[in-house]
Amino acid sequence: MQPSSPDSRSDLAQCGLLLRGGSRTFFAASLLLPRSMREPASALYAFCRLADDAVDLGEDGPGALDGLRNRLACIYEGRPLPVAADRALADVVARFSIPRALPEALLQGFEWDAAGRRYETLEDLLDYAARVAGTVGAMMSVLMGGRVPEVVARACDMGVAMQLTNIARDVGEDARSGRIYLPLAWLREAGIDPHAWLRAPEYSASLGTVVQRLLDVADCLYERAGSGIARLPLAYRPGMHAARIVYAEIGRAVERQGLDSVSSRATVSGQRKVWLAGRAVIEAGLPQGSSAGAPLAATRFLVEAVAASPAPAAMARRSLTEHVEWLIELFTRLEQHERHQHLQRQAGTG
């Protein structure tokens, strides 16, 4: 399923550059995917990133959303705008039969952000996370041929878990932008008035209990996601497992700094990410737990959308030689990435 023209390859290359300069964690995990999957994943990321920026950084949120919906309509009609990310996504949508309901739900999540919506309960927050992140998990599952409801449900779990981790890590950063994503009911239960706190955000032990509750929910979802990853083709498991354990590690970093995600933003070092990626390769073939059951209520509509859509023609099986070549390429990339990180550290201390 390689792109069919030089223009397609050029568009995908531009998407790859956007990915490299954007999410470091997503980029690190993408290094563990075969090139045949890394390229369509970068197209997906590029459109999501540009859409998020258009809403988040633009002055006219509703206008930006209308423009994005028009762009999405053009993509699904096979006449994308002359933008690399749009052309690349149109190609990916056609080749992998991505249900339109998935990116449409993503844009609805962006609309909620633009409106400054807040979330009273965990269930309300999960509805939001399903749209801005569960959708991405579902689309990634489709790209990897995982269209079975159980696999899609677990991919949505992972996307939601990653979003909850982001929220737990970015409490202070969001507050300084006038946003609050923590469940308001949880804050009140901890003795915190959400509106008063937002006017003067600061860390307290009570706030830390709320952050920990959110991380605990994320950890449960990461655990559930494991059974879905185990059912993906072997070539795709290291990348997805790496994304899962690296994002879970962000939660551990928040915990190590005393759950204070107001005063500073927890990070995972490049060296630690490389180590975790290596661990992901080793663990990718191990059992990851039994079936986790029904999808979250918040993501059920995504699972049903995939189940109702026609699957593309079956992907060709990889030969043993191709698997060996891919593994050699994988370890070469990991070695180069670790060497680059080492040189950067040396330059920083020189």
Residue 317's pLDDT is what? 46
Residue 237's pLDDT is what? 84
Q: Counting runs of H as helices and runs of E as strands, what totals does the chain give?
A: 17, 0
Could you tell me the residue ranges of all domains in the chain? 1-96, 99-316, 319-350
- Joined together, the tokens standing for residue 139 give 């689309």
How far, in Å, CA of 221 to CA of 7, rounded? 39
Helix 61-76, helix 84-96: angle, nearest 10: 50
CATH architecture under which domain 99-316 falls: Orthogonal Bundle (1.10)
Give the N- to C-terminal CA distance of the chain in Å, as an integer: 46
Exposed / middle / buried, residue 199 (Cβ in 10 Å: 0-12, 13-18, 19+) = exposed
Segment 126-185, tens digit of pLDDT: 999 999 999 999 998 998 889 999 999 999 999 999 999 999 999 999 999 999 999 999
- Of how many residues is the chain composed? 350
User: What is the DSSP secondary-structure string of 310-345?
Assistant: PPPSPPPPPPHHHHHHHHHHHHHHHHHHHHHHHHHH
Amino acid at 26: F
User: What is the DSSP secondary-structure string of 98-148?
Assistant: --THHHHHHHHHHHHHHTT---SSHHHHHHHHIIIIIHHHHHHHHHTT--S
Q: How far is CA 230 from CA 247, 299, 314, in A?
A: 18, 20, 20
Residue 31's pLDDT is what? 54
Residue 64's pLDDT is what? 84
**Residues of the chain below pLDDT 70:** 1-35, 56-61, 284-292, 313-350
How far, in Å, CA of 62 to CA of 111, rounded? 8
How far, in Å, CA of 134 to CA of 151, rounded? 13
pTM of the model: 0.82
Residue 101's pLDDT is what? 97
Residue 52's pLDDT is what? 75
Q: Are 19 and 27 in contact (CB under 8 A)?
A: yes
Residue 318's pLDDT is what? 46
Residue 58's pLDDT is what? 58
Residue 326's pLDDT is what? 44
Amino acid at 274: V
Q: Are 76 and 104 in contact (CB under 8 A)?
A: no
- Joined together, the tokens standing for residue 176 give 């300084």
Q: Are 192 and 287 in contact (CB under 8 A)?
A: no
How far, in Å, CA of 168 to CA of 162, rounded? 10
- Residue 185: how many other CB atoms lie within 10 Å: 14
Residue 61's pLDDT is what? 62
